[in-house]
Amino acid sequence: MRFDPDKLRSEFPILSTHPGGRPLHYLDNAATAQLPRAVLDAVSRHETESRANVARGVHILAERASMAYEDARGAMARYLNAASPDEIAFTQGTTAAINIAAQGLGAGFKPGDEVVLSELEHHSNIVPWQLLRDRTGIVLRVLPVTDDGRIDLSALDRVLTKRCKLVALAHASNVTGAVTDVARVVEAARAVGARVLLDGAQAVPHGPIDVQALGIDLYALSGHKMFAPNGIGVLWGRQEVLAQMPPVFGGGGMIRHVTFDATTYADPPKRFEPGTPPIAQAVGLGAAARWIEALDRESVVAHELRLTGRMLNGLAGIAGTRIIGPTGLQARRGVVSFALEGVHPHDLCQWVNDRFGVALRGGHHCAEPLMRRFGLDGTSRASLAPYNTDADIDALLEGVADARRHLA
C-alpha cells in the first residue's frame, strides 16, 4: 500500500486516545508496538467464529481453529522466507524461543564447549546460556562493544575458537539500535564449525526477514514487537537443526506415543509446542505479518530513518545529553537511548509523560552488562514505528529540553 504516516496512524485505535487530555506520543515501540485494526479484527473474528482447541477435533470449530493456526504458521514461514512451515515453532516470545534453543542445543554440548555472546545482548540472550553453563560446564565467551554501541566484530578472530559450538547475537540492539553485520558473523562461525542464532526481536518489526539469505541456523522473535498480540513468538530453525534438538517441555501435542515405559516424540515443530497453544495470538501474529508485508517498505524505512535523524540531531543539541549508540543512520534502527546529565532516566520519562504526553522507556532495558560498559545505571529510550510522525519527535525534544531546565 502507498505509505502515508497519518493515514497509517488512523489504523491504530489506541493512538487516537488522549490520556490526560493530550495527544499520545507513543515512542516505546521497542518494548511493545501497538495493534492495527487488521490484527484486532483477525483476533476478534477468530474468537467469535472459530474458538476451539487445535488438532484432533473433528467438529467444525476445531477444524476452523486448526486451519487458522496453521495458516498463521504459513504466514510466518513466508515472512521469514523459511524453507517450510515445519521450520516455524510457535513460542511465548523471544525469551521462550532462546530458552528452547539453549536447552535443545545444549543437550548435545559437552564441558568446555563454547558459546559466544556479545556485551550488548538482552538478558534473554544471556541468562539461558548461563543456566546451561552452570548445568553442563560449557564456557561463555563475550564479544566487546565499540564506543558507538556496536558489536566489535574485529574481535571475532580472537574470541571464536575451535571449541565454539554456537554464536548467539542480537540482530539489532534494543538499546543502541545498531544492526549486526550478520554476514561477517556467519563467515567467522562457519570457519570454526559453529552455528549461529539471532535474537530478532528488534529486527522483525522493520520488514520481512530472509533467514535463508542470512545463512543462519536459528532465529527468535516476539509478536508484541511486530504489531501482534502479547504471548506469542517464533523459534525458526533449519529443519536439520530442529530435528537434532530434543523437546524441552513435555505434555500433550508434542508426542507420537506414550507408555509408562517410554515416549516417542513428534517431529518439529510440534515437538516444541506442548499443550494448548496460544491460538488466537498466533492468528494475530499471522495477520501482523501480512499487514507489514503490505506496507511500502522502502518508504517506511526512509520515513523511520528521517525521524531517527531528527531525534539524534535534536537530542545532541540539548546540553548535557549523551547518546548511547551510533549517532549516524548507517546500519541502525530507530531506537535511540540517551542519558541526561543530572536526571535519572525514570524521572525524565515521568516528566515527559506527565507534561507532554510522550511515552518512553527508562532503565537498563534488560541489558545491564551494556550499561556497565558505558558507566551508566540506565538510559531513557525512544523507539519508532511507522505510525510515528514529526509531531512525536517535536514533543519528545520539547519534553527533554523542559526536563533539562527543571530537573538537571
Residues identified as active-site = 366
Q: Return the C-alpha cell found at 382.
A: 525512544
What is the rounded distance in angstroms from the CA atom of residue 223 to the CA atom of residue 280? 12
Question: Cα separation of 158 and 173, whole Å?
Answer: 22
Q: Phi, psi (5° rounding) for residue 363?
A: 135, -155
Cα distances (Å, whole numbers) of residue 159 to 55, 140, 188, 228: 46, 10, 10, 37
CA distance 235 to 243: 13
Phi, psi (deg, nearest 5) at residue 258:
-130, 130
Bridge partners (DSSP) of residue 362 are 380
Compute φ and ψ for 25, nearest 5 degrees. Answer: -105, 90
CA distances (Å), 151 to each of 121, 129, 220, in order?
9, 18, 19
Could you identify the residue written with the cell 511486530?
A: 226
Pairing, β 88-91 against β 233-237: antiparallel
How far is 312 from 350, CA to CA, in rounded Å?
21
In sequence order, which residues have a C-beta less than 8 Å from that of residue 20 and are 6 or more positions away? 354, 357
The three-point CA angle 131-133-136 to 5° equals 105
